[in-house]
Structure formats: C-alpha cells, structure tokens
C-alpha cells in the first residue's frame, strides 16, 4: 500500500473545460436531458471556461445532474459512461498527465476528486490507469436513481470530507499528500494536505497561494490571458502570483523539478 496520495481536481485542472458539459451531451443523446437544457449547458460551459467555478454554478450543476437521472435506471448511466470518457480523454492536458505520471513513479496513489457523477469520474480514473475516481454519489433504490444525493456533494468542503475518509481508510498521512486545483472553492481540500499546488488558479486561489507560498503552475498561460482579457477586460494572471508561475510546464523534466522541489519543501514563502 502506498504511503501517500495525490488528489487532482478535474475541471480546468486535469482537463480544459467542464466534464459536466460532456455528461449533459450524453444525457441529451440518451433522452435524459431536453434540448433547451442542453443549450443552457453550452452557455454555462463557455462562462465556466472563462471564469471558473462558483457556489451558484456548482449547485446548479448538481441540481441538473440529479434532475437528469431521477427515475432512471442506474444501468443507463453506466452504459453512458464510456462515451463520455471518450470525449473527455483528449481534453486531459499533457502537462497534467505528466504530473499524474510523476506521482505514480514516486509511489503515490493518484485520485481524481470531482463534483461530477462518480460513475463518470470512476470510469475516467480506470481509463487513466490511476488508483481511483472520487465523485458525487446519487442515491439508488431498487436500481433506480431517486434524484437525491447519497453522501456529500463533492464540491468545496465535500471534497475535503471525502479525502479525509479515504486517507483514514488507506492510512495516508495528510501532511505527505498533494492536492491540485484551479479554484478557490477547493481551498478546504488544498488546506487539508501538506503539499497544495495551484494549477491555472482563479483570482481567489491565486491570492491565497501567493500569501501562503504555495507553488503555482500555469498551463498555456498566454492563451488563458488572451481569453480572459477579451471577456473581462483583463487582469494580471501571471504578475499576481509572486514569482511562482512556471510558465508552460510541458516537459517531463520541468514537471519532475516541480515535484522534487515541492517534496523537499524548498519553495520559499513570499508576501
């Protein structure tokens, strides 16, 4: 058994965009989601790509997923999962894949932690060959979804709750574990472990990472700055990180250096 683990947020961290959008597409194809709701999913995805998560948006996604599956056979969602994963896999960032590989090479168990349905997150974890996928669990009675949650919604504090549970079950010392996210909503998860790393951070997470001296990694930073400038008038994505941005981390050597430095705790605190 591994002595530590690395926990990765999914949307805008491991992948570009929102996994819930691809779940919505599959639900529409299967007749589980009407056309007008599919159009709203597209609009929400465009906003999410530009500005990230919020409590309101995440609660809306939760409610949409529960509404989509209520009264449907659990077997239907399991049948949908491989098609959703087929669309998500090309969106896994190569830089993020390198991080997964580096943690596995270092002997750590790797998990995805996402608000998306556990049926999707678990299937993605299996496709990536990592230890596990922790996702939101919907209640099932007699093989049919009730439209209610069975456990915490894996958003915000819900992610931290699930990580504590897994760490206790598997004997992971949380101070030796890693967490990766792009969003300030994941601060409960990030603050829980000894090695938090901000990936493409939103403004809330960026500010905390700078203040606490957490490593910050930007993937495709130039494209992200241009997109945000066009949509919101622009703000300092790189300058506000206090010098921790590594730019485009796209080689295994650079990723290894990041892991070596965070493991040895040589990141100096600033601010």
Give me the active site residues, please: 9, 11
The candidate with the shortest Cα–Cα distance to 200, out of 226, 179, 218, 176, is 218
Structure tokens at 219: 């993937």
Residue 213: beta bridge partners? none
The angle formed by the CA atoms of residues 249, 90 and 124, to the nearest 5 degrees, is: 100
The Cα 37–Cα 53 span in angstroms is: 19
Is the distance from CB of 192 to CB of 209 less than 8 angstroms? no
Neighbours of 242 (CB within 10 A): 17
Task: Give the residue carrying structure tokens 């990766």.
Answer: 180
Is the distance from CB of 15 to CB of 28 less than 8 angstroms? no
């Amino acid at each position: 058994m591994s002595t530590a683990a690395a926990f990765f947020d999914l949307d805008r961290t491991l992948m570009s965009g929102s996994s819930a959008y691809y779940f919505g597409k599959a639900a529409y194809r299967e007749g589980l989601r009407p056309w007008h709701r599919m159009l709203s999913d597209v609009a929400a995805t465009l906003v999410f790509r530009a500005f990230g998560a919020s409590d309101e948006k995440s609660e809306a996604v939760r409610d949409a997923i529960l509404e989509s599956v209520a009264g449907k056979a659990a077997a239907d969602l399991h049948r949908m999962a491989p098609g959703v994963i087929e669309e998500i896999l090309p969106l896994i960032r190569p830089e993020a894949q390198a991080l997964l590989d580096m943690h596995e090479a270092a002997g750590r168990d790797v998990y995805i932690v996402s608000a998306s349905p556990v049926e999707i997150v678990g299937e993605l974890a299996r496709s990536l060959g990592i230890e596990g996928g922790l996702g939101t669990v919907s209640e099932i009675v007699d093989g049919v979804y009730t439209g209610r949650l069975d456990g915490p919604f894996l958003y915000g504090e819900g992610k931290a709750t699930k990580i504590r549970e897994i760490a206790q079950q598997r004997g992971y010392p949380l101070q030796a574990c890693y967490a990766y996210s792009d969003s300030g909503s994941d601060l409960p998860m990030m603050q829980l472990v000894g090695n938090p790393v901000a990936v493409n951070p939103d403004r809330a997470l960026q500010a905390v990472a700078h203040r606490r001296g957490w490593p910050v990694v930007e993937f495709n930073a130039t494209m992200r700055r241009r997109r945000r400038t066009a949509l919101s008038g622009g703000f300092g994505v790189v300058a506000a990180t206090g010098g921790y941005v590594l730019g485009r981390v796209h080689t295994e050597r650079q990723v290894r250096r990041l892991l070596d430095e965070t493991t040895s705790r040589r990141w100096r605190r600033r601010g």
